[in-house]
Structure 1
Amino acid sequence: MDYEAGTYQKLPIKQYPARELGETAEGRYWRRFLSPATAKQAGAVNYLEFCPVRPYNLAVTSSTRVLVYDGATRSLHRTINRFKDKAYSASWRADGKLLVAGGQDGIVQLFDVGSRSLLRQFKAHKRPVHVARFDPGRMHVLSGGDDATVRWWDVSEGKQVSRWEGHSDYVRAAAVNPAAHGTWATGGYDHVCKVWDARSAQSVLSVDHGAPIEAVAFFPSGSVLVTAGGTQVRVWDLFGGGRELACLSNHQKTVTCVTVSPNAGPDSSAAPRLLTGALDGHLKASVREGVYELERFQVTHIQKYPGPILSLGLSGDAGLLAVGLADGTLTVRKHAKPRADPAKAGILVGRRSRRAPALTAATYRYFIRGQSSKAAAKDSVIAAERKAALATHDKFLRKFRYRDALDAALSTRRAEVVASVVEELAARGGLSSALSSRDAAGLGPLLDHMRRNINDPRHAPQLAALAHRLLDVYGGSEALTGMLPALTLLLERVELELRAQDGLTRVQGMLGPLLAASVGAC
């Protein structure tokens, strides 16, 4: 008996959750970085920093030189050779016109980038100066040295304004609070990070990192401080009196550098982004999650480099990523930003804007006009009656030809279609008739489908029940002899899955105590 198409409801295909998560905006951001441009330096790249203004030129400190690379072309633009010994920590002024750098001889030097001329020398440190930073106000410089002191200099007068004492070992890191320019954080090998008020030259807060501090950074809000040293990165809540928010132990060796991107960059909704580099050669990107008391950081990207990482930087627009290695290799990767649609952005195509041709009967658009128009809120919409387009298995189900419906579903080689048809046949009581009276050739597609999907947890329960039904129907028949090779392959697939599950259970049991111990260590 046949029924009209209008009285038959199409079989809904089962929808399963995706086995893998789709690509996120963060994943697209990292995937669109182009191949790196590399340059070999005379010595280890101990520090690098992008200019705060476009085109985001890059200052690289290596050996006895400071090199400036053009942010647009990634080629060498300037070389400053004014150091008698090793140079350290060349940093930009906010307008990108001046550079300040420390040195092995304990002298802090100030340079004009355009002319490469030496403008100032600050001499007060007794030991090497590894930290030199410009104040956002442009008129002061902060420096930290191996003499365990932090000094505050006036650029216009070339004199020391104040000396900040409180560290008991080398000072190797410093950062200014982006939300409060008079607040600085310094970290030293005494395991302590101190927060200073530049106006009073007094320490207002101290936190113990638990290892020699190699780098410090602020989040854009200014309320969260990051310290890096040893194999751990710690996150502190400044408004909470220095309360520790998180302890990240994602690296196997000493974390040497850390930076926080104030800009999420193109194709990314995750801001800010925390980047860390370590002597294990890994660069890891983490994103902050959580609100109020619940704080955690999720690693979203990992890059492996051929040597220990000493320095890293991300440009202000998150479009350039630079990494410096201990062997003197400098790599700069540029982000391939997606091009804007000229039609959406309102950009003229070519020299003149394209005009739409006149709408006359001589054009094809004249005969399809109005098809893309949308109904207004007050318009009455009359839905056009469309004939149901039935799939092959639906046509057979409509005619109660259950065996043909099952064969049609198997021919699609889509597991969700087969699962839907088998479930419908079981509900109608026609599964036995669909399976019976088959020879070995007729059972082949069904057994092949079971072998391919028996280890999928979404389909395993249904296929296991279907296998039992087959054995009940064909037990002791001649068709069973022809099914033996296929049944043997199915059995091997099941045994392989059981061994894999057993191995995963053992690994889970071993990882449990290790994870608990690592959490306790933090």
Structure 2
Amino acid sequence: MDNYIKLKEKLLFKKPVSDNAENRYWNSFNQVLEKQHNQSIKAISASNNIKQRIAVASGNTVEIFSTNKNQITQTLSRFKTQVLSLQLRCDSQLLATSHEDGLVNIMNLKTKTSLRQFKNFKKPVHSVSFNNTDQIYAAGDDGTIKLFDIPNDIVIRSIPNAHNDFIRSIAGYEDRQLLSSSYDKFIKLYDLRSSSNDPIRSYLTNHPIESILILPNKLNFISAQDQFTTLWDFRKENLIQELHTNQKTITSLTLTQYHDQTRIITGSLDHQIKFIRTDIFNVTHQLKWKSPVMALDASLDGFNIAIGGNDGQLQINQLKPSKNDEDIEEEEDYIPEYLKSNPHLQRRIKNYKFYNRGIYSKLSDYDYKVPTIQNQKFSGYDKLLVSFKYKEAIVKAFKEKKTSIILSLVEELSERGALEVALKDIDDEELQMILQFILQKMSNPKYSGSMLHVLDILVGILLSSILDIYNIGDIYDQVREELQIQREMTILKGMILI
């Protein structure tokens, strides 16, 4: 029995797996927080503060998550209306929030008090962004952009009718230069130092724009509109490249670090989160989220990623810490409990590494490792096959309705020429069970070949029993229908190839 090859279960619905260094890197992130909120996650801010804090807005509540403590350290719920956007200042001392009633609120996180409340908008404000430590931009659904001075509590600059539709995203470019995007399909670059209300440059897209993002090189920016992610050049009004990355609207964009490279992360209503290289503008990694993604952001160091869904689900993932040399040495010197509890073994060996010294030895050029021969242990279907109990094996598989096992057994027994032997002695009850399974699965192209082969053998050896159970006309009609579908599929495949 040493030469017996165990039955290999057929893998169905196998998805292609791309195993490369970058996929392993993103898959190594651990979930450190998962929380269900009562309302949708509207905004997340994490990428612009040096203390690696994450601010999350849901309803009229804002939560501050500390990546050092891996827990929510502050909950702010004094807001009267729903928070639509927010941003932490670079030192994490101030938090700016905008609301559906048009309020722009500046809050001190140490004292949990409101420092400033700007009530200059009449419609909801969906985007705020710090220009520096003392100034903040805000853009509302009325198409107006404003720059506020926080210490003096004044409006420094205002651009009315900057857009003809709702402004959904803004991003500070240089000192008092602002990039804004709207549902009017325009991206505009404004210089708020100038007295003119006209934009320096305008960029036209084909769809309403949900989000924009300026790349670190300050020469390019990214926009997300409908199902497309687009790369632009500040110096030209035409796009450089456009990716059709999603099946539904992309709602959020952010930047993160992959070693010394930059990656763009996109979140969409089709549950997809995708990572895009900034140099070649290709998708390098993707994952499927539990619900439509409404907001996401990554911490400044790239070690934390926060994702929020429209069902109120919040998840924060953190990169697993890599093992250092001290940890590895401690593991090698580890002594199991069963060795510690035996005084006789403790006298004979000094540590677990010495006891298992052969495991740690490496082969030299002239060494030869003698292969160890172990007796195979059989269980389940292998135990029946090795005992030539073919009938019991195939009946057991049909009873358990394990399609992958059934296909593997049919293939194995056909190669042995034992499929007819396995089926000829089945009783009427087992025959009915097998026929029901065959007729159920026969219409599926993945199983039709094997199922028709089994049906052909059954008709050849047990035709009279089949006629007692089923009307042969019904079986004939179903087989004829399946054959017709197969012919049409073959013709269609040829047309596609042409």
Q: 1:411-442: CA deviations, max 9, x gaps? A: xxxxxxxxxxxxxxxxxxxxxxxxxxxxxxxx
Instruction: Give the structure 2 partner of residue 311 of structure 1.
Output: 295
Instruction: Give the structure 2 partner of residue 276 of structure 1.
Output: 266
Q: 2: distance between equivalents of 1:331 and 1:505?
A: 48
Change over 3 Å in CA distance of 1:223–1:507 after alignment to 2: farther
- Alignment pair present for 1:164 and 2:148: no
Give the conservation status (yes or no) of the 8 Å contact 1:146–1:169. Answer: yes
How many positions carry a matched residue from both structures? 338
- Alignment pair present for 1:143 and 2:134: no
Give the conservation status (yes or no) of the 8 Å contact 1:174–1:187. Answer: yes
1:253 counterpart (224, 236, 248): 248
Q: 1: distance between equivalents of 2:78 and 2:99?
A: 10
Fraction of identical pairs, as percent: 25
Q: 1:169-193: CA deviations, max 9, x gaps? A: 111101123xx34332111111111
Instruction: Give the structure 1 partner of residue 219 of structure 2.
Output: 223
Q: 1:313-351: CA deviations, max 9, x gaps? A: 01111111100110111110111032343599xxxxxxx
- 1:120-519 aligned at under 5 Å gives the runs 120-135=116-131, 137-165=132-160, 166-177=162-173, 180-200=174-194, 202=197, 203-239=199-235, 241-261=236-256, 263-264=257-258, 268=259, 271-289=261-279, 296-341=280-325, 510=496
Q: 1: distance between equivalents of 2:365 and 2:76?
A: 77
Instruction: Give the structure 2 partner of residue 362 of structure 1.
Output: none
Give the AA of the match of 1:283.
Answer: I
Runs (4+) off by over 4 Å: 20-23, 386-391, 484-489, 503-512
Instruction: Give the structure 2 partner of residue 348 of structure 1.
Output: none
- Structure-2-length-normalised TM-score: 0.62
Q: CA deviation at 1:238?
A: 1.0
Change over 3 Å in CA distance of 1:76–1:210 after alignment to 2: same
Q: Aligned-pair RMSD on alpha carbons? A: 3.4
Give the AA of the match of 1:186.
Answer: S
Change over 3 Å in CA distance of 1:504–1:146 after alignment to 2: farther
Give the AA of the match of 2:207.
Answer: A
- 1:8-157 aligned at under 5 Å gives the runs 23-35=19-31, 37-50=33-46, 52-135=48-131, 137-157=132-152
Instruction: Give the structure 1 partner of residue 3 of structure 2.
Output: none
Q: 1:131-170: CA deviations, max 9, x gaps? A: 11111x2111100101111111111111111112320011
Query: Secondary structure of the equivalent of 1:221?
Result: coil
Q: 1:468-503: CA deviations, max 9, x gaps? A: xxxxxxxxxxxxxxxx968999xxxxx99xxxxxx9
Query: Secondary structure of the equivalent of 1:34?
Result: strand
Q: 1:72-112: CA deviations, max 9, x gaps? A: 23322112223221112110111110011111111111000
Q: 1:382-421: CA deviations, max 9, x gaps? A: xxxx999999xxxxxxxxxxxxxxxxxxxxxxxxxxxxxx
Give the conservation status (yes or no) of the 8 Å contact 2:271–2:289. Answer: yes
Change over 3 Å in CA distance of 1:35–1:388 after alignment to 2: closer
Give the AA of the match of 2:266.
Answer: T
Give the AA of the match of 1:195.
Answer: L
Give the conservation status (yes or no) of the 8 Å contact 1:314–1:320. Answer: yes
Give the conservation status (yes or no) of the 8 Å contact 1:85–1:103. Answer: yes
Q: 1: distance between equivalents of 2:122 and 2:311?
A: 29
Q: 2: distance between equivalents of 1:211 and 1:195?
A: 18
Q: 2: distance between equivalents of 1:184 and 1:154?
A: 16
Query: Secondary structure of the equivalent of 2:24?
Result: helix
Query: Secondary structure of the equivalent of 1:143?
Result: strand
**Unpaired segments ≥5 residues, structure 1:** 1-19, 290-295, 345-385, 392-483, 490-494, 497-502, 513-522
Q: 1:19-70: CA deviations, max 9, x gaps? A: x998433123112111352112231111001163444111111111211111
Query: Secondary structure of the equivalent of 1:35?
Result: strand
Q: 1: distance between equivalents of 2:494 and 2:170?
A: 41
